[in-house]
Every structure is written in structure tokens, then in C-alpha cells.
Chain A
Amino acid sequence: MKLWMSMCYDFTGLHECLATSWFGLVFIGLGGFYDVIGLETVNLIWQHWTPCCVQCTPFILQVRMDRKQDCVKLSVQPSRGLMDEKFIVLVQNVPPCCALTVRAFNQCDKGNKWEAYGHYTADATGTMNVAEDFSLGGTYSGIEPMGLLWSLRPVQGSKLGQRLVKKNTQTPMEVTISVYQGHQTEGFMNQVPLACAVVERWYTTPGVRRIPITEEGLDAVLFLPPGPGRFPGVLDLWGAGTIFVEYRSAMLASHGFASLTLNYLKPKVTLETGKMVDNEYFERAYTFLQKHPAVLSDRIAMLGNCFGSNLIVKMACYFEVVKLRCAVCINATHVQPVGGTLEDTVNHLQDRRSKAYLNEEEQVIWRGLLLPIMTDPSTKLDMGRLQCPLLLVVGEDDQNMPSYESAMDMQKMMEQAGNSHLLTVLSYPNTGHVIEPPYMPHTRASGFRVPKTNEIYMTLWGGETVAHCHAQEDAWKNILAFLREHLFTDRKIVSHL
């Protein structure tokens, strides 16, 4: 529908609206009211040519536009960035020293609405730079270049316990950044911003290939970087209790690693037979990656978090066929049955359920299930068997797993066994269980689906938002550097002095 609309405003509040469209309708409003076909129709027309303002309501027609107002300039660089890239939000041409609110808005794939905002004061030249200036309050405060993303939270009235998760890695996350006058905290949907910009955040660089894998009975997705290859490979294992996601592997491929994200909790075979996968499933996944024509067979690593990282520690220590250049484990524990299958490990936790408890907010804290960590070697994996470099990323406020205690115990075991030179521990205070790639919002608690029983519990993951989000950024940087060091170079790890 082609539409050419012209509106005139004056200062007295008398609005005259003259509009024509291809179907020849003309409507004129006087005295601030619109004698129109219907406000819904006009709103529809407005929405057509201001598609970015889909949240506009009929109220928008009654907003006065001050003709003398300078046009505010908002720019976000880069406008199309990767999910782990920083951006710069620059506001120019506002009145000097005026109060501003910068807001980020996203409607996720599930339809949930998320927002974040910061309160700022422009400088004497009428400029404000989120990357350099101080937020006086909002969903984040202080100098936080990426606060508009990591402090995203469900808008008022949303369902509790949501996590911002993007399943589709082939499309970008679209975030609308807007600037408002004054320090606002609510009602953004009913206001016209001074300016807005749309930013795309991508999980993949152009040319990254996504290949669903069903060979050898696997349920997985392979991401390959662009180019002829061959590439080092990473087997990527997520934790339990969430839907199967692939975005971390997509990001690894954007950094030059062939990455295979494996669905091991609810793969097709488990859905069909009701039986959990055996150890051989993981060996097949490893071998598939290792033998893939685009992958360098002697440059394989594993990266996992939570339950996935527990499996990685086991595989690295015990699976003969698995030969790793390195492993990265986020909030892992070595306290698990030695030998046995995935199901044995799940049962091991189930048997200790009575040690879980509720906090005042009725959120479940699971970390006690595996505590205290015994000295008895039969209760845990033998870390002395580890032969590859291991990076342990630990959130010290992990309320789901005893990650800190486990990391300390693993370190002790390796010191005793003489292989502690392989271990690097990155331990972050006030950081919770779910350590994601950077700039994703922190989820302190959310619904957790227990494997096998499928019951859902509101679970406390832990972490204090600011510290947790800073930790995510630092951890990801270190994880990438660690993987690059061990997968792209041939430098050998020497014993520590």
C-alpha cells in the first residue's frame, strides 16, 4: 500500500491532519481530535510507514511536535555486530546537560519483551556516549558500554522466570535502541522517543555453514567457519534442564573453530525409545568430528557447561578413544560415579534430591546435593588421569553446583598427582551457574526441567548481575584465547616453576 501522508503541527495545540492515500481518503481533524474513519485505521496507517514504532498507540497522534526542536541524532556502531562484539551508542544534538534515558528493547523469538535502560546527562556540547559516560541509574549504572544488553529484563507484566535464549542462529537478534527525554523508568511504549536506531546482533559471521547431523545415530548440529579449512574442532556440550541450543557453537565457528553441538539429553533416539544415550554415543560424536573432512583430526577440544562439563571431565579422564588438545569446563564437578553411563550420573543426583532446599523466594538450591566433597577417591573422578590442558571457569556464587569446591578439590588432586601444570582455574566472585557468552542477560533464577522426571522447578542459579555479566565477558575472552592457544599453535605446556 503506497501512502503519502503529510501532517502539519503548530504550537497552539490545534492539530490539522491532512492525509491522502492511494484509496483517496482525506481526513481532517480539528481541535486535537481526529474526525477520522477510525483511530485504529489511522494507527494502522501510521504503523505502516513508521514500522519501527510498532508499539505506538493511538495516543501518538496527540503528541505535539515542537518545530523548533533540533533533530536528535542517535547512532549505534556497529549497526550489525556479532553477539560478542561491543557497540558504541552515541547521542548528539540534544540540549546541553539535559537528562536523557537510553533504552534497549527486544522481542525475542518466543514473543517475550525485554528492555533495559540507563539514565544519563548530556555534556555541554549536547552529546552523550554510552561507552564513556556514567549511567546514573536504570537497569544498570556506572560506565557500562554494554549495559543496554546484559541488563535486559522482561518488561513489566511479563511471566516470571524467563531466560533470553535465541534458538534460531541464522537470523539476528534485533534490538531497538531509543532515546527519551528525562529520566524515565516506565511507560516507554506510550511515548515517542527523541530518536531510535535498530541494531542487529548476529551469532554467525557471513559464510558460516550450519549442518544438521543425523549420521551415526547422532542428534547434533555442526557449524563450519567459512573457507577451505581444515579447522580445529570443538565438541560443545550444554547443561541439563534447558532446550537444546546451538548459539555457542555458532559463535565458535565465527571464531574459526569447527564446532559440533551435541543433543545428548533428548536426542531423537531418547525421545523414541525413552532410554538415555550410552557412553558410545559420545564416543561416536567425538569420532565423527575427528574424522570430518573439514576438521583437523589431531586438534580437537571440548567445551561444556554444567552437566555437559561434568561429562567432559569424565571423557577427558577415562575415554580411551578421546584424545583432546584441551578442554574447557564451565561450573563443572568431578563428583560423579566413576564409570557408568549418563543415566547413572543422573540417578546419582536423583538419589541425593533430599539435600536440595528452598530459599525465601521458593527457588530451589541444588548445590548441596554433592556436598561435602569426600576424600574417598571412589566418590569422584581421578583427576590424575587427565593428560590435556584444562580450563575450569568457576562462578563462586553458583547455587546449582558446588563448582568452587569442586575446582579446589580437582586442583588438590592434580597437585598430588603431579599434573596440575595442566590446570587453569578462572574463578569469578558473585558469579552464578549460567556463564554464557557475553552481553546476554544474567538469569538469577529460572525454570529448570529435571532430566528423566521432567519436573520443572524454579531454580536459583546465583550470581549478582553486574559481577556475573562482567565475568561472562572476561570468561569468554579467556576461553577463546585458551582454545586458540591450544588448537592453533603448537606451543607445549611446560611444568610450572
Chain B
Amino acid sequence: MTSIGTLWTIPAQRSGQVIRAVAALGGLVLDLPAEYTHYEDNKKPAFLAKFPHGKIPALDTKDGFKLFEGTTIARYVATLAPNANLLGSDAKENALVDQWVHLVDTELEAPATMVGQLLRGGIPYNKPFHTILLEKVTRTLGTLNTHLATRTFFVNERITFADLVIGSMIQRLVAIIIDPEMRAKFPNVIRHMETVVNQPKVKEIFGEIQYCEKALQFTPPAKEKKEKEAKPAAAPAPKAEKKPKAKAVDDDDDDDDEPLVPEEPKAKNPLDLLPKSTMNFDDWKRAYSNKETRGAGGAIEWFYQNFDKEGYSVWRIDFKYNEELTQIFMSSNQIGGLFNRLEASRKYLFGSVGVLGTTNNSVISGTLIIRGQDVKPIVEVGPDYESYDFKKLDLNNAEDKVFFESALAWDLEIDGKKWADGKTVSRFHHCVKQTVLILTTSAVQIICIAFRHSETSKY
């Protein structure tokens, strides 16, 4: 049988599976791409010329007709097989199928995807937001469950597009956030999912159902979201017991790349096993935020009074490729990105790093205070470290001392390149355990970011 065309997707993409399931039930054939690397091929001009939004799933038919939006493609494929009645058999049934699909798209998938992003670090974690999103999910599950109390399928007692969409979504969610307690509350939804996903023609497409024992919890992000080769981490976590599935894309959003694996058990970080230090790092971070940096009673004074040189060390960080730096604000963003990717070391790291100079004539430099005596395990958690030089500072050496203090006080000058004077705007967020301090000037932008250990919130 001739194929409709090529469906650009990856095997684990849920919305792609739905399209393939519709085709299977409709007796239609779709080709999958011979070669496709997500995050790469969809950014290339050839792909964007066909699918300007740059996301998958995307359909490229033999007639040259092109379509994107997973739900739309699935619905379109269903219209090509009218005898399968996957959209219902009259206008009202069409509308009911559309209704259920729209409901779960917007009030189940969308909030659940956002929960995933909150829990995995794609969006800064925020407990009230998390709670509200879970309430939306629960409310929708309740509506679905009630509807299924007296029904096997959603519309007119036969399988439709709506059942495929809902079944696949629930299959994804029982692996991540619908835990045993929730499954017990919405038994009809679970029963429906198992019925749909196990239909002979689609079973292979949807694959195994994985049931989580515990819903995904918030953990600070430990690696960059992009598909990069994993760098050795300071504390490598042991592999999960279950065989991890191939990386999945939760929805059309190509920014979301969530592996469908259960939470990995936390391993002890060797830095936690160091002998207890006399200096409390949180106290230092608080002192730095609250006090003037220089002068009597200031943060630098506090530091020298409390610094434990056995338990902590001070370093200089320099970007290796300063000739590449152009706009000051872009360099500032680069520093921000560097610190974002060092999230996993937040508990063991304090940094005050800035961009000095002017457009196209600047350097990134600053100071780090770290737990322990070796900077490598601290900075290796992110992929940026290879672009920076690190030099341990000796605070008994006059030059090193001046550098350290100036980097803290933001008056560091290197080869005539200064922090500029000018208007400063400061924004302070204070919560129990965290502060982010951002200083900007009109002429030269400096970002100095103080890290704090935060268990729950991150701005």
C-alpha cells in the first residue's frame, strides 16, 4: 500500500505515536525518516523551509502537502480513513471527539508538561505553581474518570481518535506523576488506558506501560538539557535499576527532552564527606549579600575572620577566548549560563564573576570560593569548564589578595579594562536560603551571582 508520506518524529515521541496509531487503525501507511537527529536536523534550513515553526511531529506528504502540530496531523490522517470512523460518524460526534482531545491537550498535557519542566529544571521551581498545575491535572482526571464510569470509550462506544490521545497521555503520566495513590483514585482512566494501549494494532507503537512507584519529585538540574555526551560528574549517580528508555520528547515542544526513566537514587557526594568545616558557607553568602563588601564590618572582613583554608579554597576564573566576546550584555548572559549549568554544585560554590572592558574589547574574569581544595569536581558538573582557566589563589600573596577582593567588590581592573562607574540598579530577592544579586550599569554590564543552597526555590 502506498504511504501517505513522511512523518518527522522520533520513536519515543508520544504525539508521534498517536499519529502512527491513527494510521494503523485506519489501515494507512506512514514512513518514518531514515535519518533524523532531533535538536539538530529541525534547526537546519531544509527543515525550516518546510516547517517554519521548527518542531516535530511534522508531516510531509507525497503530494507536497505539509502539516505540523501533532494533534492536527493525527486528526488529518484520521480524515483520510473515513471508514474507520476514528472521528465519530456525524458532525456532533466529530465535535465530541474534538472536545475530548482539546480538553486533554490543554488541561492535562499542558499542565503535566509544565510540571515536568518545573521538576527537571526547565522552568525555575516554584511550589505554589507546581501545586496549581497538579490541581488542574487532577481536576481533568476526575472529569475523564467520571465520564468513563459507564463507558468503555469516550464517544459512542467505539474507539476513536480521542481514545488514542487520552490513552497515550495517561500511559506517559503513570510513569511520571500519576502515582499508585492517584491510580487508585481514577481507576476508570487507568482501565481505559490499558484497553487502548493494548489494542493489537497499536500495541507495538505504544510499547510497554511503566508504572511509577513514586511521583517524580523536584531535584535541582544536574546536567544541561541539550543532548550532549554526559560529562563525568563530581558524584556520579548509579544507573537506575530499570533500563532507561530512549530519550523522549514529551510533546511538540523541541525544547523539552525528558528521558522517561524513574528517579535515580541519590548518591553521596564526596564533598559532603569532607571533615566538618568551621566556616558556614551559607553564613558567608548571607554576609556577602547583606554587608558592604569593603570596609569595617564588611563582607571581606567577615571572610578573613571566618575563612577555613582547610575546608575551602579560593580560585581565579578566566574565560579562555576573550577575543570572541562582543556585546557586553551577551557576555553577561554567558556568565549567567555558566552559573546555571553549575547548578549541581551550588551547595559547594560561590562565584563573583564579571565582564570587564567595553564592546569587542572585554574579558570575563572573577573569583570562585569552593568547598575543598580542588576546583575540578565542582566545575566539571557543567560542560563549560573547558572554556575557562582556573588558578588557585593564595591569599597570603599580595597580588592574589587584591584580585580576590576586587572581584568581590566589583572594582577589579585587568589591563586597563575596568568595571565602569555609572548608574547601578540592583534587584534583591530574599528568601530563607537564597539570594541572587544582579548589578547592571549603563556602560558596562556586570553580573555577579552569589549562589546559595536552595532546596525548594530558585529564581
The yes or no verdict on A and B being binding partners is no
Q: Which residues of A contact B (CB under 8 A)?
A: none
